[in-house]
Structure 1
Amino acid sequence: MKLLIGGYTKKKATGIYELPLYNSDKGLKVELGTAKEIIKIGGPTYFVQDQDLIFTINNAGDKGGISSFQLVDGAYQEKDSYLTAGSSPAYIGIDSVKHLLYTANYHTGALAVFSYTAEGQLTLIDSVTHTADTLGPRPEQVDGPHPHFFDETPAQNLVSCDLGNDCVDFYRLQNNKLEHLAKYQNEAGFGTRHIVFSPDGNYFYVVGELSSKVNVVQFNEKDWTFNNIATYSTIPDDYTDHNGAAAIKISHDGKFIYVSNRGHDSITVFAVKEDHTLELKQRVSTFGEFPRDFNWDPSEQFVVATNQNTDNATLYKRSAKDGCLTPIQKDIYVPEGTRVLFSE
């Protein structure tokens, strides 16, 4: 098992790094090894993998977009790029069965769908640009729409989260064209960032970056009705310093929700009750500053959070029973990390 971490390349980082995850002390202890650069590229703040292919955000100076790399004879080779003038996207999602990629560009307001081949060749299928329909009141919102997420729903429609417009938009890709289906509006100033869905596909949990909240919503993906269940803070009530909620994950069994907090520098753990309301279980430190992303291995036994500002990561053991995280390795050096992905 390996860990891949990418992020900004403004200071020390130069691309995507690989860290081995191995057993020591006769298998009684799991540790992460030393980070080694495997792909040299500008600003791989988000990336996805399909077997021997890696698709990553590429900040190429005055151009931005995505690039593909393929593992050939033990080394990653660049296969293709799709770059345009201006800023790079903030998010890239993947459907490895359909060979589709989904990108959200925070700065330009654009959502895009790409196809890819087994050799990593990229083709733009369609794109749409959000308009300033419901801009929120916060300084980060008044300059326009800011989609921060674009990926598939349980029924394989598409969903985007727009921080500027405080909303979740649903689309369908039909005849290679994106068709808007529905919109769910969060409260003003929520800062809609990322979203996860319950295993049964009847609920979603959307995190607000600017509000540091999680909104639980019941929805029907056939008639597009929405029922706002409840909203929960990811930070303590008495915490008054700046915080930006970032990544949100849901366990495969649907019993636990996890959110990273940049500012409070923690991961908040919620238990999902039978009525899909949430119960706070834990707020655990990330032992660094500005944890934009975290992720777990396929078994969900281990979690790694990376701290962008302090160039370090933390490895946790996860309890499947109560969802709580126990740190088992701290101060793992990784420069400017913003994306965490376990790899076989």
Structure 2
Amino acid sequence: MIEKKRYHVYIGTYTDQSLPGIWQCSYDSRLGTLKSVDRVSGILNPSYLTVDEKHNRLYAVSESAEGRVVAFDIEGGTGKLSYRNTQSTLGGAPCHLTVDHEGKYLFVVNYMGGNVCLFPILSEGNIGNMSDNVRHYSNVEQQGRQEAHPHSAIVDPTNQFVVVSDLGLDKIIIYKLNREEHKLTFNDEVMERSGSGPRHFVFHPFRKYAYVMNELTSTITAFTYNAEQGSLGKIQTVSALPDSFTGESYGADIHVAPNGKFLYASNRGHDSIAVFKIDEESGVLTNVEYTPTNGRTPRNFAIAPDGNFLLVANQDSDSIVSFKIDQHTGRLKQTDNVIQITKPVCIKFGSVIRE
């Protein structure tokens, strides 16, 4: 029998500043259901969130022409958000952010600004003044096609390196975090095929593999990861779409199940979750199935901490749909659990709710 736990869950959305933008929900781990608890307004397009569970904090971008990042305290017990402070990201359309594993640094990427920002997090939880601002530039071959568009920043398992996927440059750039000077130092880079558009990146939870979702070609590239050197080695590239599909679709989000056996990726247009089995010895992906998301434009999704359910944010049908995960096959089975939220684009699990 599955042990019942409830979690705080936070939903980022596209919304006007005067309307609720961050939704707080409670999640029932036995049923895979979400229930709305509270909403926070006052932020224009809080489209991406990150939770520092260790310190009970939440950080959100304001994805706008004059980008900002906002800090909140998470109140113990209730899980409600209490505003702390905000900082400019010195660039337009911040679309992703994350904290390091110690909760001391915040990394933000600006899609339109083409820059990667580093903020120290002060002891009380405020976002400190920006300590580094790394700009990406197009090279000669890419000028006229696309400018730099960093789309995600992911901290590696050692907490020493930060992996930035740049959709415009078709590059994955790895920076080393210099904690003494509070700076990002270039370490290595990997080129994806021209026109691929690397978007979101994920590390395997316990093996030396990593994967990137390429938005423009709807492909996934698998890598080996050398944690000592902070470098990637390509293994394979596979399509996230079925061979029979001929329509328009763009890759979005990517996650590995907590058990490390399966990888999931979302397709906007095909409106599906692609499921792959991960070979433990090689990291190679083998397709299992493509599951319709029962909604339009699955921009983001999240796997519950126990790995039993997957929640999909369907941006253009204003819904979050729950799917049961088969632990043996990785296949998804749609449940009847749907919650209506306006333009949901990010789902983040918080701490367990103490009963």
Instruction: Note whether the superposition's TM-score is higher than 0.5.
Output: yes
The correspondence for 1:104, drawn from 103, 109, 113, is 109
Question: Where does residue 65 of structure 1 map in the other structure?
Answer: 68
Deviations 1:148-175 (A, max 9, x none): 0112112321110000011111111212
The correspondence for 1:176, drawn from 179, 182, 193, is 182
- Structure 1 residue 77, shift from structure 2 partner: 2.5
Q: Is the 8 A contact 1:287 1:331 kept in 2?
A: no
Q: Per the alignment, do residues 343 and 198 of structure 1 end up closer, same or farther by CA in structure 2, a change over 3 Å counting?
A: closer
Residue range with higher mean Cα deviation, 249-258 or 322-331: 322-331
SS at match of 2:69: strand
Higher strand content, 1 or 2: 1
Question: Where does residue 116 of structure 1 map in the other structure?
Answer: 121
Deviations 1:273-294 (A, max 9, x none): 1322111112111111001100
Question: Where does residue 345 of structure 2 map in the other structure?
Answer: 338
Question: Where does residue 263 of structure 1 map in the other structure?
Answer: 269
- Structure 1 residue 10, shift from structure 2 partner: 5.2
Q: Per the alignment, do residues 237 and 225 of structure 1 end up closer, same or farther by CA in structure 2, a change over 3 Å counting?
A: same
Question: Where does residue 316 of structure 1 map in the other structure?
Answer: 323
Count residues with an aligned counterpart.
336
Q: Percent identity?
A: 28
Letter of the 2:81 partner, please give it.
Answer: Y
Q: Per the alignment, do residues 290 and 113 of structure 1 end up closer, same or farther by CA in structure 2, a change over 3 Å counting?
A: same
Q: Is the 8 A contact 1:135 1:145 kept in 2?
A: no
Q: Is the 8 A contact 1:135 1:164 kept in 2?
A: no
Residue range with higher mean Cα deviation, 87-96 or 204-213: 87-96
Counterparts in 2 of 1:201-220, with a 5 A limit? Answer: 202-220=208-226
- Structure 1 residue 300, shift from structure 2 partner: 1.3
1:92 maps to 2:79: no
Question: Where does residue 293 of structure 1 map in the other structure?
Answer: 300
Quote the Cα distance in structure 2 between the aligned partners of 1:194 and 1:63. Answer: 23
The correspondence for 2:39, drawn from 30, 37, 40, is 37
Deviations 1:55-106 (A, max 9, x none): 10024x6521101112458543321100256523110011251421111111
Residue range with higher mean Cα deviation, 157-166 or 10-19: 10-19
- Structure 1 residue 303, shift from structure 2 partner: 1.3
Letter of the 1:170 partner, please give it.
Answer: I
Deviations 1:99-122 (A, max 9, x none): 211111111110011121343311
Question: Where does residue 52 of structure 2 map in the other structure?
Answer: 50
Question: Where does residue 24 of structure 2 map in the other structure?
Answer: 18
Q: Per the alignment, do residues 85 and 277 of structure 1 end up closer, same or farther by CA in structure 2, a change over 3 Å counting?
A: closer
SS at match of 2:316: coil
Question: Where does residue 78 of structure 1 map in the other structure?
Answer: 83
- Structure 1 residue 8, shift from structure 2 partner: 0.7
TM normalised by structure 2 equals 0.87
SS at match of 1:142: coil
Q: Is the 8 A contact 2:224 2:234 kept in 1?
A: yes
Q: Per the alignment, do residues 21 and 223 of structure 1 end up closer, same or farther by CA in structure 2, a change over 3 Å counting?
A: closer
Question: Where does residue 276 of structure 1 map in the other structure?
Answer: 283
- Structure 1 residue 223, shift from structure 2 partner: 4.5
Question: Where does residue 313 of structure 2 map in the other structure?
Answer: 306
Q: Per the alignment, do residues 255 and 221 of structure 1 end up closer, same or farther by CA in structure 2, a change over 3 Å counting?
A: same
Q: Is the 8 A contact 2:120 2:182 kept in 1?
A: no
- Structure 1 residue 20, shift from structure 2 partner: 2.3
Question: Where does residue 188 of structure 1 map in the other structure?
Answer: 194
Residue range with higher mean Cα deviation, 279-288 or 37-46: 37-46
Question: Where does residue 239 of structure 1 map in the other structure?
Answer: 245
SS at match of 1:292: strand
TM normalised by structure 1 equals 0.90
Deviations 1:2-57 (A, max 9, x none): 3211121159963101222237xxx6x44322464145421111111224321100
CA RMSD of aligned residues (A): 2.4
Q: Is the 8 A contact 1:17 1:39 kept in 2?
A: no
Unpaired stretches in structure 1, ≥5 consecutive residues: none
Quote the Cα distance in structure 2 between the aligned partners of 1:313 and 1:287. Answer: 9
Q: Is the 8 A contact 2:314 2:320 kept in 1?
A: yes
Q: Is the 8 A contact 1:302 1:315 kept in 2?
A: yes
Quote the Cα distance in structure 2 between the aligned partners of 1:334 and 1:171. Answer: 36
Deviations 1:168-213 (A, max 9, x none): 1111121222110111111111111111123455322111000000
Quote the Cα distance in structure 2 between the aligned partners of 1:135 and 1:289. Answer: 35
